Amino acid sequence: MESVLFKGAYVPGQGNVDVGVRGGRIDLVGRGEAGNYDRVIAADNCALLPGFVNAHGHAAMTLLRSAADDLPLQQWLEEKIWPLEARLNSRRVYWGTMLAIAEMIRSGTTTFTDMYFFEDAVAQAAEETGIRAVLSRGLVAVGPGFDQAMAETREFVRTWQGRGDGRITTLVGPHAPYTCPQPYLEEILDLARELGRPLQIHLAETRSEVEESRRQYGKSPVAVLEEAGMFALPVLAAHCVHLSPEDIDILARYDVRVAHNPTSNLKLGSGIAPVPALLAKGVTVGLGTDGAASNNNLDMMEEIRLAALIHKGAHHDPTLISAQQALAMATAMGARAVFLEEEIGAIREGFKADLILLDLDKPHLTPRHNVEAHIVYAAQASDICLVMVDGKILLEDGHLTTIDEERVLYEAARAARELLEQ
Ligand code: NI
């Protein structure tokens, strides 16, 4: 793998510096000697950022993009999404995931999180394309196939944990408290302990989920999971839209990581997560796109901007969620949300070289009073001119280096047609 020196790039929080990459890791932040590297990239008109971490999603749902819109969550799931998902198979999930990865690399995502079915096909796509991935087979206990899904989870973790030179890591993925009630949840927690892997779950996404939990158990979904002992293990919880102050205290006390999905929550009419309150209590909050069926794209730059905007509007307070905080949620905090904070999420010597280069030489990014604010409030995914994961360039000059994009578009469109046809 060639060594690369990014010369003179603007790095948020560090100013204009040189960043060297060797053997898949950042080996220099400061002043670099061009002669010490195989390749030098002049970057003085660019910003160099840690790649974005998409902390929640279902990649292959790209196949369902715009197949069902403008419906409430339960109706959307039960009448539209689940019947189509019943027709998925490994090949279709593979091509849907390849489509998602192409889109994610183009918009600066270097790590994505996934919870779905046929997860081996997701892992295969991640391994082939060079992206970093945090993957789990979704577990739904209400309904048939739970034992098989548990066996598949065990096999999946044993097969894929650490594959792709460590780019692939695994989680145990109970879908939600309402689809994984006791005693199934206990079995799932035992499995997570046995495998030594963290968990991810959808939590407190809608008001009706919380109301139903209070009716059935007399407590919130967060309190139900606490009582079940789930938070004694490391947990990534997606959404967390409807939280009481007590719920927020519980999440903070157990260091539960939260994935904030502002677009999906707005589109499904679920609400706006209390992110300022979570951050004030020290909770780690990452950002996610959720699946493309409830977004309807996988562009993290849109999530960053929305995360910086909606809390200001909702609370009539323009000081909430600064540009720096929004960017951190997509990078350093995102890395911590998916349990990779010691490897990625910052431009630091020794960290994995997961980097994106943004071309600042654009009308909408001129003048340059504040580059961090530009990235959050003004930049577009099309400004990203280079994407690197593990020291390997995956996008440059508009071309994906590891993906046959024409074929992916063709095969994904075909797989999507098949879902509707059968
Ligand atoms: Ni989701």
**For each successive 10 residues of the chain (422 residues), what is the average pLDDT?**
96 97 98 96 97 98 94 88 94 98 98 98 98 98 91 98 98 97 96 98 97 98 98 98 98 98 96 98 98 96 98 98 98 98 98 98 97 98 98 97 98 96 73
Q: Do 169 and 264 reside in the same domain of the chain?
A: yes
Q: Do 28 and 169 reside in the same domain of the chain?
A: no
Rounded to the nearest whole angstrom, what is the distance from the C-alpha of residue 276 to the centroid of ligand 1? 21
Rounded to the nearest whole angstrom, what is the distance from the C-alpha of residue 5 to the centroid of ligand 1? 38
Q: Is residue 409 included in any domain, yes or no?
A: no
Rounded to the nearest whole angstrom, what is the distance from the C-alpha of residue 64 to the centroid of ligand 1? 14
CA distance 338 to 257: 8
Q: Do 105 and 32 reside in the same domain of the chain?
A: no
Q: Do 393 and 276 reside in the same domain of the chain?
A: no
Q: Do 45 and 56 reside in the same domain of the chain?
A: no
- Residue 260 near residue 287 (C-beta atoms within 8 A): yes
Place of tokens 């200001």: 312
Q: Do 98 and 35 reside in the same domain of the chain?
A: no
Amino acid code (one letter) for 118? F
CA 364 to chain centre: 27
Number of domains in the chain: 2
Amino acid code (one letter) for 19? V
Domain that holds residue 122: 52-337
Rounded to the nearest whole angstrom, what is the distance from the C-alpha of residue 272 to the centroid of ligand 1? 15
Q: Which CATH number characterizes residue 362's domain?
A: 2.30.40.10
Q: Which helix (H) or strand (E) holds 238?
A: strand 235-239
Q: Is residue 417 included in any domain, yes or no?
A: no
Rounded to the nearest whole angstrom, what is the distance from the C-alpha of residue 58 to the centroid of ligand 1? 6
Rounded to the nearest whole angstrom, what is the distance from the C-alpha of residue 32 to the centroid of ligand 1? 42
Amino acid code (one letter) for 25? R
Q: Is residue 116 included in any domain, yes or no?
A: yes
Q: Do 106 and 120 reside in the same domain of the chain?
A: yes
Q: Do 176 and 265 reside in the same domain of the chain?
A: yes
Rounded to the nearest whole angstrom, what is the distance from the C-alpha of residue 301 to the centroid of ligand 1? 18
CA distance 189 to 186: 5
Q: What is the model's pLDDT at position 422?
A: 60
Rounded to the nearest whole angstrom, what is the distance from the C-alpha of residue 3 to the centroid of ligand 1? 37
- Residue 400 near residue 105 (C-beta atoms within 8 A): yes
| pTM of the entire predicted model | 0.98
Q: Which CATH number characterizes residue 112's domain?
A: 3.20.20.140
CA distances from 30 to 6, 19, 268, 385 (A): 10, 7, 45, 22
Rounded to the nearest whole angstrom, what is the distance from the C-alpha of residue 112 to the centroid of ligand 1? 13
Q: What is the DSSP letter of 294?
A: G
Q: Do 244 and 384 reside in the same domain of the chain?
A: no
Rounded to the nearest whole angstrom, what is the distance from the C-alpha of residue 167 to the centroid of ligand 1? 22
CA distance 230 to 142: 19
Q: Do 261 and 394 reside in the same domain of the chain?
A: no
Q: Is residue 416 included in any domain, yes or no?
A: no
Q: Do 258 and 271 reside in the same domain of the chain?
A: yes
In three-state secondary structure terms, 49 is: strand
Six token digits for residue 290: 């959720």
Q: Is residue 421 included in any domain, yes or no?
A: no
Q: What is the 3-state secondary structure (H, E, C) of 149-203?
A: HHHHHHHHHHHHCCCCCCCEEECEEECCCCCCCCCHHHHHHHHHHHHCCCEEEEE
Q: Do 245 and 378 reside in the same domain of the chain?
A: no
